[in-house]
Amino acid sequence: MLDEKTIEELHSYYDRLPGGICLVKADDSEEILLANAELLNYYQCANWQEFKELTGGTYRGMVEASDYIPLKDIVRVKGQPEANYAYFQFPYRTREGHFNKGNALLIRTTQKGLGDIWSINVMKSKYSRAPGETENITGLLGGTAFYKRVNEHIQMEKIDGTGGLYCPVYFNLTNFKLYNSNYGIEQGDELLRKVADVLRAHFPYSIIAHLNADNFALVAPRDGVIEQVEAVCREVDEMIDNFSITLKAGVFFRDPDNPSEYTANSAFDMAKIACDSIKGDASRSWATYTETMGKNLAARAYVLENFDRALRNGYIKIFYQPVVRTLTGKLCGMEALARWEDPERGRLTPDMFVPVLEDAKLIYKLDSYVVEQVGKRLRTMEDSGMPVLPISVNLSSADFDQVDPSTSSKESSGSTACPEVIFA
């Protein structure tokens, strides 16, 4: 922890610099040591405490979970093997729930009093080159002009009473980076222009935008929108002819009785959430937003932000399921099961946190923790002269990509106490 004098001195310097700046520990924790005033502004946080609560105090919490890459790996991907810097982009969600994208310069350095750190200089991505002007790759509106137009449209709905007749649609070209890698940037730009043409053809009277590299958005007439969205996705997918690079869409149907309660940004955020929900589903090209999606997103964020704390504080409990031999009726073993006893949300069952940890490549921490605690339990039983029974442990296949499952990761557990045996 930095003392208050050091923090004050750092802010006196970094708060005067342009752009958002944060300093992050150059170790596996990626703990955020400092965020300047401009970065707090980007995330719509009034102070450091709000920013820490939003991000969990780590770089992982600053970015969208599906786009997280460890900082050390960003350098390896973007630069030479020995490089200590890289330019990169990352999507993030603000405290008020809006999605943005930042352009960043990442530098690894050593600073007196801080040790080895990552310095991340962030500038918010400007979706359009000038407000009100079209984006010149596709000829469509850029983000600033688009949201301005949509908000004006919402105001007109209030006046003429036509609210709810139009709905936001968000499109994403999945794995567009792979397309650029395979065919080159020029061909990638040409694909974007073709996608823009397809959107214009199917939605000739709609407000359409190219928000950034792989994302498009439009306001479409509510009637028949799903059929048109399906047709767009099908036409673009046939044009690309690559199952790993597809167009996905999210649609948000506003409440027709109260359509004006949403701003353009919030409405398209919901359409984006719907789109993101099917990124990994090859059988679907579109989805409509539901309240469950919003709740699932909030639950996922809670798991990711609080998992390390749960391990440190012993909120992850080990339950032991007896294994009984049917012929004799005698206990012949046990199965170790993890349950999360959260002080705020009560018991979280495995289906609430295991898939999230697997998707975020954090499941190895949980499994290593379980193995470690089971090992301690067996040692305690043996040292006390108790009968020692075999205890089975469930491992995720993802563990083998992260650690050696035959050894227990020390970082998986912040607690050295051996929990009491709990029988399920």
In a shared domain, residues 37 and 118: yes
Domain of 306?
294-423
In a shared domain, residues 152 and 250: yes
Q: Evaluate if residue 64 carries a pLDDT over 70.
A: yes
- pLDDT at res. 410: 43
Average pLDDT for 263-275: 86
Specify if 137 maps to a domain: no
In a shared domain, residues 182 and 226: yes
- pLDDT at res. 423: 41
* Cα separations in angstroms, 355 against 2, 190, 363, 367, 369: 35, 37, 8, 13, 17
**pTM of the entire predicted model:** 0.56
**In this predicted model, what pLDDT tens digit does every residue of 297-340 receive, in sequence order?**
778 888 888 999 999 999 999 999 998 998 888 889 899 999 99
**In this predicted model, what pLDDT tens digit does every residue of 187-239 receive, in sequence order?**
999 999 999 999 999 988 788 999 888 999 998 888 889 999 999 999 999 99
- pLDDT at res. 136: 65
Distance (Å, rounded) from C-alpha 316 to C-alpha 348?
Answer: 9
* Count of other CB atoms within 10 angstroms of residue 4: 8
Q: Name all contacts of 200-207 with Cβ < 8 Å and 24+ positions apart.
A: 202/228, 202/231, 202/232, 203/228, 207/141, 207/146, 207/149, 207/150, 207/153
In a shared domain, residues 283 and 150: yes
- pLDDT at res. 424: 42
Distance (Å, rounded) from C-alpha 68 to C-alpha 66?
Answer: 6
Q: Which two tokens stand for residue 394?
A: 């469930």
- Calculate what percentage of the chain has a pLDDT beyond 90: 32
Specify if 135 maps to a domain: no
Number of domains in the chain: 3
Average pLDDT for 331-357: 89
In a shared domain, residues 29 and 155: no
Q: Evaluate if residue 422 carries a pLDDT over 50.
A: no
In a shared domain, residues 98 and 66: yes
- pLDDT at res. 54: 93
Q: What's the mean pLDDT when you consider all of the chain?
A: 82
In a shared domain, residues 14 and 118: yes
Specify if 136 maps to a domain: no
